[in-house]
Amino acid sequence: MDRRKVEEGIFKVLMLASAFTILFLLALIVATVVVKGLPAMSVAMITQTPKGGYYLGKEGGILNAIIGSLCLAGGATLVAFLLGLPVVLYLNAYARRGSLLAMFTRFSFDVLWGVPSIVYGAFGFTVMLFFGLGASLLGGIIAVALLILPVMTRAMDEVMRLVPPELTEASYALGATKFETSVKVLVRQALPGIATAVLLAFGRGIGDAASVLFTAGFSDSIPCSLFRPAATLPLAIFFQMGTPFPEVQERAYASAFILTALILAISIAARLSARRYARHVVR
């Protein structure tokens, strides 16, 4: 036997084994959530708020957290989109090729992407203290918007960079201004990528717990004002896992199930939307 062939074989087995281990772990995680969460699901679970306090009360569901999470992630995605889109348009339509500012901006978004969410939470909290704001839906939206801004901006930037320069040049040749070109050509051409970026950012925002822990707080009721604390699914999981009552833990499992299903749906939707909107793109 050739030693080289043996070595090749050994490593090939090792590689396959590790690839399968990773896929197996993924399946195991999803299976655990489904097995624990599915029995806990019921109509009451998703249509009622917890009765008698989320930590102790044994009745009721997690409607407060579902609504809170959707409001929070939706608001944050909107804020991040409004802040991120002009930056991306600047980078792609206005900045000169190889401009130092553009390079530095991209680099800092890459670095910000790696900052832990708890730091965003702590930072959001100090900002809120500065403005004299308590834990509120608004505070949570600000912290999560900061958290997802780098994800969204970099994802949108990547697709806009792929827009062929001939298209923008054609638009300039027709006498369009930079602004018209960026809105009517760049945005339209990059629409599928933008939709994916928004969905990805929404998914990241809805799943994050550490940044909303001090900024959005937690409450038993459905959020009705920007200045009141709001419940979120990740925190519903975290707090209700910690109780000694199985009935309350059920709520945590149900929340985990809903959250995972949401994230799954979002990532599938992101893939589909990329394909669907691709029709409008000029090739």
Binding site for another protein (CB under 8 A): 4-5, 7-8, 11-12, 14-19, 21-23, 25-26, 28-29, 32-33, 36, 107, 110-111, 113-119, 121-123, 125-127, 203-204, 206-210, 213-214, 234-235, 237-238, 241, 252-253, 256, 259-260, 263-264, 266-267, 271
Kindly tell me which of 194 and 213 has the beta carbon lying closer to another protein. 213
Helix (H) or strand (E) holding 117: helix 117-131
DSSP label of 49:
P
| DSSP-based three-state secondary structure for 190 | coil
CB of 168 to another protein, least distance (A): 21
Kindly tell me which of 44 and 103 has the beta carbon lying closer to another protein. 103
Distance CA 39, CA 264 (A): 19
CB of 158 to another protein, least distance (A): 12
CB of 80 to another protein, least distance (A): 16
Distance CA 222, CA 230 (A): 7
Distance CA 191, CA 155 (A): 12
CB of 232 to another protein, least distance (A): 10
Kindly tell me which of 187 and 234 has the beta carbon lying closer to another protein. 234
CB of 248 to another protein, least distance (A): 14
Contacts of 240-247 with CB under 8 Å at 24 or more apart are: 240/54, 240/55, 243/55, 243/56, 245/56, 245/58, 247/58
Kindly tell me which of 51 and 275 has the beta carbon lying closer to another protein. 275
Structure tokens at 244: 């000694």
Structure tokens at 222: 């459905």
Amino acid at 139: G
Kindly tell me which of 175 and 244 has the beta carbon lying closer to another protein. 244
Bridge partners (DSSP) of residue 218 are none
Instruction: From residue 29, give the alpha-carbon distance in Å to each of 81, 97, 258, 261, 267.
Output: 31, 45, 14, 12, 17
Kindly tell me which of 41 and 263 has the beta carbon lying closer to another protein. 263
CB of 183 to another protein, least distance (A): 29
Distance CA 205, CA 263 (A): 10
Kindly tell me which of 65 and 185 has the beta carbon lying closer to another protein. 65
Distance CA 177, CA 2 (A): 68
CB of 199 to another protein, least distance (A): 10
